[in-house]
Amino acid sequence: DTAVSQTPKYLVTQMGNDKSIKCEQNLGHDTMYWYKQDSKKFLKIMFSYNNKELIINETVPNRFSPKSPDKAHLNLHINSLELGDSAVYFCASSQDRVYYGYTFGSGTRLTVV
Amino acid sequence: SQQGEEDPQALSIQEGENATMNCSYKTSINNLQWYRQNSGRGLVHLILIRSNEREKHSGRLRVTLDTSKKSSSLLITASRAADTASYFCATKNSGNTPLVFGKGTRLSVIA
What would the pLDDT profile of A17-36 be if each residue is shown by its tens digit? Answer: 999 999 999 999 999 999 99
Instruction: Measure Cα distances from A58 to A34, A54, A106, B107, B108 in Å.
Output: 10, 11, 22, 30, 33
Of A35, A97, A105, which is closest to B96 when you measure between CB atoms? A97
Residue A65 CA to residue A50 CA, distance in Å, equals: 16
Characterize the bridge pairing of strands B55-58 and B61-66: antiparallel
What would the pLDDT profile of B49-67 be if each residue is shown by its tens digit? Answer: 999 999 999 999 999 999 9
Are B47 and B63 in contact by the 8 Å Cβ rule? The answer is: yes
Instruction: Measure Cα distances from B67 to A11, A16, B41, B70 in Å.
Output: 42, 47, 31, 5
Q: Is residue B6 scored above 90 in pLDDT?
A: no
Question: What integer pLDDT is reported at residue B98 of this predicted model?
Answer: 86
Give me the mean pLDDT over the A82-105 stretch.
92
Is the Cβ pair A45, B99 closer than 8 Å? Answer: yes
Of B31, B41, B96, which is closest to A99 when you measure between CB atoms? B31
Q: Nearest 10 degrees: CA dihedral of A40, A43, A44, A46? A: 120
Of B35, B45, B96, which is closest to A56 when you measure between CB atoms? B96
What would the pLDDT profile of A36-93 be if each residue is shown by its tens digit? Answer: 999 999 999 999 998 888 888 888 899 999 999 999 999 999 999 999 999 999 999 9
Question: What integer pLDDT is reported at residue A98 of this predicted model?
Answer: 77
Contact list, A105 vs chain B (CB under 8 Å): 42
Average pLDDT, chain A: 93
Average pLDDT, chain B: 93
Question: What integer pLDDT is reported at residue A100 of this predicted model?
Answer: 86
Residue B94 CA to residue A71 CA, distance in Å, equals: 22
Burial class (CB in 10 A: 0-12, 13-18, 19+), A70: exposed
Is the Cβ pair A99, B48 closer than 8 Å? Answer: yes
Question: What integer pLDDT is reported at residue B2 of this predicted model?
Answer: 53
Question: What integer pLDDT is reported at residue B3 of this predicted model?
Answer: 65
Residue B85 CA to residue B13 CA, distance in Å, equals: 12
Residue B42 CA to residue B55 CA, distance in Å, equals: 26
- Which residues are CB-neighbours of B51 under 8 A, at least 6 positions away? B28, B29, B30, B31, B32, B65, B67
A residues 90-109 closer than 8 Å to B (CB): 90, 92, 97-107
